[in-house]
Amino acid sequence: MFANLVQWTAAESLWQGQSLVLDPHHLAQWLAGIGIRVPMGFGVSLMPMRSPYQAAFEARSVALATGHSVVAGFGPGPVSFQSALLGRPYARPLQASREYATIVRALVSGEDAMVEGKYFSVAARLLQRPAPQVEVGLGVLRPKMAALAGEVADRAMKTTRDWSHVCDTFHGPGWVAVGDSAAFIDPLFSSGVWLGTSAAWLAARAIGAALEDAEQEQLALERFDTLYRQMFKDILAYVPFFMDPTRLREEYEERALQIQKMVTQNSRVGFISMISGVSAIADVVDFDPMNVGTSRTSCRTGTSRRPPRAARPETDTAEDSARGVCWNA
């Protein structure tokens, strides 16, 4: 669909990130094979996955198959990813990126690549074929990589590690903030609507309590703030763990279970409960800004009511979360 949009609209090119399921270059070739040939961008492909020769070869293959220009972006990737695929991380990622981009750029330009580097050594050229232009880019997070891109690549591609943000406070005189304006997590887990609507519910309860008893306004809003912030942190703490490609599926599930502090033998239930927001439903539905309490049964423990969320220790990091607490124990 997106490739067709490029054909039908003023969009310039189709961009794909590095996938660990379907290789984006293969997808581009498949699209070309079924007749959808558009300019392509790859940003950014992770260097540990392919030699610079293979990278140049793939990028030019896409240019040949589509008949359009290609922008091929590269980056060293996370340290854990480098270790997992190479045995150890690049001690000098800037140097590795310099060598890699230099080789790829020479090859896709039809030149001889003659590089003897610390990380990559090549004395080769691609077989000559007239092909549309292939530009080489480097993924840029910091100024040094930007400077390197200006030196050895055609483009600097601004990348970011984490889109997440959170406000210092979710309330003030005459206002409360919920949804993305208050707290946002990488949409990897599709948690935004759940968090936003849950926070709206919590805020409404707090505002309702404050309207009934103006003296309690500050307390009610602080309790709303504390619970909302904890729900946000629970998921946020999990994102870096989940994004670590060296982990096994069982580890993802086990960590989710620990964060959720659920009483269940089935770690998959913990994972699904966290991602769907089910595990926090009791906290949200039972939210009592005046701390009066109800007899509602907790979904998370399945047996009895837990201490109010605000009274529990906060999980600041994935490591803290990993320690876990069983509130029913």
Ligand X SMILES: Cc1cc2nc3c(=O)[nH]c(=O)nc-3n(C[C@H](O)[C@H](O)[C@H](O)COP(=O)(O)OP(=O)(O)OC[C@H]3O[C@@H](n4cnc5c(N)ncnc54)[C@H](O)[C@@H]3O)c2cc1C
Q: Which of residues 23 and 180 has its CB atom nearest to ligand X in the complex?
A: 180
- What is the closest distance, in whole angstroms, from the C-beta atom of residue 187 to ligand X in the complex? 3
Neighbour count for residue 246 (Cβ, 10 Å): 11
- What is the closest distance, in whole angstroms, from the C-beta atom of residue 276 to ligand X in the complex? 10
Q: Which of residues 96 and 235 has its CB atom nearest to ligand X in the complex?
A: 235
Pairing of strands 183-184, 165-166: antiparallel
- What is the closest distance, in whole angstroms, from the C-beta atom of residue 196 to ligand X in the complex? 5
Q: Single out the residue of 194, 202, 197 nearest to residue 276, CA to CA.
A: 194
Q: Which of residues 27 and 177 has its CB atom nearest to ligand X in the complex?
A: 177
Q: Which of residues 103 and 199 has its CB atom nearest to ligand X in the complex?
A: 199
- What is the closest distance, in whole angstroms, from the C-beta atom of residue 106 to ligand X in the complex? 36
- Phi, psi (deg, nearest 5) at residue 208: -60, -45
For CA atoms 115, 121, 126, 132, give the dihedral sign: negative
Q: Single out the residue of 208, 184, 97 nearest to residue 145, CA to CA.
A: 97
Binding residues for ligand X, per CB under 6 A? 179-181, 187, 190, 192-194, 196
- What is the closest distance, in whole angstroms, from the C-beta atom of residue 179 to ligand X in the complex? 2
Q: Single out the residue of 16, 8, 58, 59 nearest to residue 36, CA to CA.
A: 8
Q: Which of residues 110 and 192 has its CB atom nearest to ligand X in the complex?
A: 192
- What is the closest distance, in whole angstroms, from the C-beta atom of residue 178 to ligand X in the complex? 7
Round to whole Å and give the CA distance between 294 and 146: 56
For the chain, the maximum distance between any two Cα atoms, rounded to a whole number of angstroms, is 80
Q: Which of residues 194 and 287 has its CB atom nearest to ligand X in the complex?
A: 194
Q: CA 166 → CA 134, 169, 182, 185, 322, distances in Å? A: 39, 8, 6, 9, 22
